[in-house]
């Protein structure tokens, strides 16, 4: 299956144009953030430090909850990560910087994945390629939005990936060297799945931690999109595990009819989205 | 996006997928559901400071929630148009005409008003999925792909759990559970369902309902006062969004929120909020 790059480019361009409607509430939220930042008083350093300390303790549980990322020695990073990262910034800034760091890592991961022949090459499944491309673009927009919000609140934009997960992702990517297309695709899907789930769980949890309405609105507008990424990756992973990659296809009713019954529900296993793998709120704060 | 024309048949690995789904269901029942109910319980405790209501112990709430899960609740569609009701089960088709202007009911204010609206939306979703499943069983929708049937059954179950969660909150604060469907949207859904003749039409109706629910939760997440209520809303919105993604997938479309032209969206919108 091949992908028409021109058609894809047109699609992405169209997406950016039509994105304006969906972005309107987000932009309004960002404007609101600016107003709120201007009217707010001095940062409560003690409160911010307490927030940081509380979430520092969550680092271990974060690694424990993440199967793939946790198993790769992430706990060893706790001491490093638990330093003074972002301790002087407000709660909202720390949360939003952490969100940006997760998005940055997701962008880097998809970018790397798309260089692999079985993800972004001519031999790759077209749906997988399109999903990875579109999703990477969405994470770029998410990072921009979170950093705009950070700057509006007077903080520094987070341009680096989440430090806790970088070595783990690097190790996972390195392990793909020499992998077969089938094995490599499954590994990439598994890694992306875990990253997407951490993002969705983190934003879901953080909506009740942030103070400003605009921060809640921004997190809420992104977490559902990440959850959709999770749903798609779960379905893709299940079909790959079932040796049915030919069913990872769109636009053909015949393919839908051939999908196994379980494919209709494998994408949303829980009635309530969990937060046990959420990243600590200050994990990606700018030091 | 190029299209695949090879009609692929799935054979020999259905059991693997079923096993995987069963594992996920078990995980949900073992971990997610108890965790959710504990969260709802905390929500009730957390809301006490904000909402005047009858004091209810965590223990009695949990007992009530368990009973709700075990027994289920009768749904009542608001309105008198028989289209939707005719396809539903007898227990779920009794009509209860309510005054739209009186919803949420008097005394349901603040976060409890949101809980009432949320429960009514979940009830409507359950009602619609049930009606769709009944119509499919009766052969009124043509051939129904197995994945679509599983989707509808599972989504209905999850919406039932969502309604139970919000109603448990209401009951713990001395309010009656909301067993009616949302009065504003029910006539629209009934009219739309009356026109459904195939699975694609049903999927599109489901998409509208899921989009409304997701947008409503997204909007309310930033308006709710109780931290625990925000957490509950934020735990449901992503699931509704997942329903949307898979609905698009089974409809053969890009599996994610998108514009009417089919362009994927990076940010979900609240435009469809109830």
ipTM of the complex: 0.78
Strand partners, A221: none
Print the domain residue range for A60.
Answer: 45-264
Summarize the confidence of residues A58-71 as an average pLDDT. Answer: 49
pLDDT above 70: residue A160: yes
pLDDT of residue B59: 36
| Whether pLDDT at A200 is above 90 | yes
pLDDT band at A58 (very low <50, low <70, confident <90, very high): low
> Residue A228 is nearest to which of B28, B148, B257, comparing CB atoms?
B257
Supply the pLDDT for residue B7: 39
Q: Which two tokens stand for residue B21?
A: 């789904």
Cα(B110)–Cα(B171) distance, rounded to whole angstroms? 15
Query: Is pLDDT at A42 greater than 50 in this prediction?
Result: no
B273 touches chain A (CB under 8 A): no
Q: CA-CA distance, B129 to B157, in Å (whole number)?
A: 9
Quick: pLDDT tens for A101-142.
999 999 999 999 999 999 999 999 999 999 999 999 999 999
Higher local confidence (pLDDT), A279 or B89: A279
Contacts of A201 (CB under 8 A, 6+ apart): A273, A274, A275, A276, A277, A278
Q: Is the CB of residue A146 less than 8 Å from the CB of residue A100? A: yes
Q: Which residues of B touch A142 (CB under 8 A)?
A: 266-267
Please tell me the predicted confidence (pLDDT) of residue A20: 42
Q: How confident is the model at residue A235 (pLDDT cuts 50, 70, 90)?
A: very high
**Does A9 map to a domain?**
no
Q: Torsions phi, psi of B78, nearest 5? A: -90, 125
Q: Which residue has the higher pLDDT, A252 or B81?
A: A252
- Interchain pair A141, B228: CB under 8 A: no
Q: Do B210 and B233 touch, CB atoms closer than 8 A?
A: no
Question: Averaged over A209-230, what is the pLDDT?
Answer: 97
Mean predicted confidence (pLDDT) in A75-96: 61
Residue A161 per-residue DSSP state:
P
Q: How far is A120 from B92, CA to CA, in rounded Å?
A: 49
* Better pLDDT: B222 or A25: B222
Give domain status of residue A274, yes or no.
no
Angle, helices A181-206/A213-241, rounded to nearest 10 degrees: 160
- The CATH number linked to A128 is 1.20.1260
Interface of B with A in 67-126 (CB under 8 A): none
Which residues 7-46 of chain B have a CB within 8 Å of chain A?
Answer: 7-10, 12-14, 16-18, 20-21, 24-25, 27-28, 31-33, 35-36, 39
CATH of B28-250, one of 3.30.360.10, 3.40.640.10, 3.40.228.10, 1.20.1260.10: 1.20.1260.10
Size of interface A-B (CB pairs under 8 A): 307
| DSSP notation for A213-279 | HHHHHHHHHHHHHHHHHHHHHHHHHHHHHTT-GGG---S-HHHHHHS-GGGGTTT---SS---TTPP
- Residues of chain B where predicted confidence (pLDDT) is lower than 70: 1-99
pLDDT at A241 over 90: yes
Phi, psi of A174 (to 5 degrees): -60, -35
pLDDT band at A1 (very low <50, low <70, confident <90, very high): very low
B50 inside 8 A of chain A by CB:
no
Q: Contact B234/A230, CB-based, under 8 Å?
A: no
C-alpha–C-alpha distance, residues A286 and B64, integer Å: 46
Q: What is the mean pLDDT of residues A209-227?
A: 96
Q: What is the residue-wise DSSP string for B120-184? A: HHHHHHHHHHHHHHHHHHTTTTS---HHHHHHHHHHHHHHHHHHHHHHHHHHHTT-----BPPTT
Give me the pLDDT at residue A29, please.
47
Give domain status of residue A64, yes or no. Answer: yes
**Interchain contact, A15 vs B264, CB within 8 Å:** yes
Nearest by CB to residue B8, choosing from A200, A258, A261, is A258
Is the pLDDT at A54 greater than 80? The verdict is: no
Categorize the per-residue pLDDT at A248 as very low, low, confident or very high, splitting at 50, 70 and 90: very high
> Is the CB of A259 less than 8 angstroms away from the CB of B146?
yes
Tell if the CB–CB gap between B31 and A260 is shorter than 8 Å: no
pLDDT of residue A256: 85
Q: Has residue A74 got a pLDDT over 50?
A: no
- Asked if B222 is an interface residue toward chain A (Cβ–Cβ < 8 A), one would say yes
List the structure tokens of A149: 């919000």
What is the number of domains present in chain A? 1
CA distance A221 to B75: 31
Tell me the per-residue pLDDT of A178-189, one tens digit each, with 9 for 90 and over: 899 999 999 999
Contacts B6 to A, Cβ<8 Å: 246
């Amino acid at each position: 299956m091949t992908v028409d790059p021109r058609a894809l480019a047109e699609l992405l361009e169209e997406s950016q144009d039509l994105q304006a409607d969906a972005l309107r509430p987000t932009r309004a939220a960002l404007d609101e953030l600016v107003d709120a930042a201007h009217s707010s008083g001095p940062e409560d350093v003690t409160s911010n430090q307490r927030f940081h300390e509380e979430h520092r303790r969550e680092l271990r549980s974060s690694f424990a909850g993440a199967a793939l990322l946790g198993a790769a020695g992430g706990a060893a990073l706790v001491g490093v990560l638990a330093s003074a990262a972002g301790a002087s910034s407000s709660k909202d800034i720390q949360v939003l910087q952490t969100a940006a760091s997760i998005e940055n890592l997701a962008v880097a991961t998809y970018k790397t994945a798309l260089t692999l022949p079985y993800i972004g090459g001519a031999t790759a499944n077209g749906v997988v390629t399109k999903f990875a491309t579109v999703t990477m673009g969405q994470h770029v927009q998410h990072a921009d939005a979170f950093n705009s919000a950070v700057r509006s609140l007077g903080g520094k934009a987070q341009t680096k990936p989440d430090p806790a997960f970088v070595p783990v992702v690097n190790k996972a990517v390195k392990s793909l060297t020499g992998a077969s297309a089938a094995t490599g695709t499954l590994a990439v899907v598994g890694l992306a799945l875990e990253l997407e789930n951490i993002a969705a769980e983190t934003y879901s949890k953080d909506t009740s931690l942030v103070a400003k309405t605009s921060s809640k609105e921004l997190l809420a507008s992104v977490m559902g999109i990440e959850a959709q990424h999770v749903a798609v990756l779960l379905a893709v992973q299940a079909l790959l595990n079932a040796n049915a990659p030919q069913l990872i296809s769109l636009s053909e009713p015949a393919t839908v009819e051939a999908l196994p019954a379980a494919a209709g529900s494998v994408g949303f296993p829980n009635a309530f989205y969990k937060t046990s793998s959420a990243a600590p709120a200050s994990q990606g704060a700018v030091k | 996006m190029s299209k695949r024309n090879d009609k692929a048949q799935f054979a020999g690995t259905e059991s693997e997928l079923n096993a995987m789904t069963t594992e996920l269901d078990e995980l949900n029942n073992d971990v997610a559901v108890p965790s959710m109910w504990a969260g709802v319980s905390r929500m009730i405790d957390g809301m006490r400071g904000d909402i005047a209501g009858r004091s209810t112990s965590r223990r009695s709430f949990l007992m009530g929630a368990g009973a709700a899960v075990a027994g289920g609740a009768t749904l009542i569609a608001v309105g008198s148009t028989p289209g939707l009701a005719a396809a539903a089960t007898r227990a779920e088709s009794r009509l209860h005409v309510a005054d739209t202007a009186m919803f949420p009911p008097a005394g349901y204010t603040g976060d409890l008003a949101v809980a009432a609206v949320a429960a009514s939306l979940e009830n409507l979703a359950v009602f619609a999925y049930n009606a769709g499943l009944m119509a499919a069983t009766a052969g009124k929708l043509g051939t129904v792909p197995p994945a679509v049937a599983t989707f509808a059954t599972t989504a209905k179950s999850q919406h039932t759990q969502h309604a139970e969660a919000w109603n448990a909150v209401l009951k713990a604060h001395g309010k009656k559970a909301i067993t009616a469907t949302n009065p504003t949207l029910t006539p629209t859904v009934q009219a739309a369902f009356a026109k459904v003749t195939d699975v694609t039409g049903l999927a599109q109706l489901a998409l509208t309902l899921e989009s409304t629910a997701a947008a409503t939760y997204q909007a309310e997440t930033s308006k709710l006062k109780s931290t625990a209520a925000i957490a509950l809303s934020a735990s449901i919105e992503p699931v509704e969004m997942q329903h949307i993604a898979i609905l698009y997938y089974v409809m053969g479309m890009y599996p994610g929120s998108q514009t009417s032209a089919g362009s994927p969206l990076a940010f979900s919108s609240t435009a469809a909020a109830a």
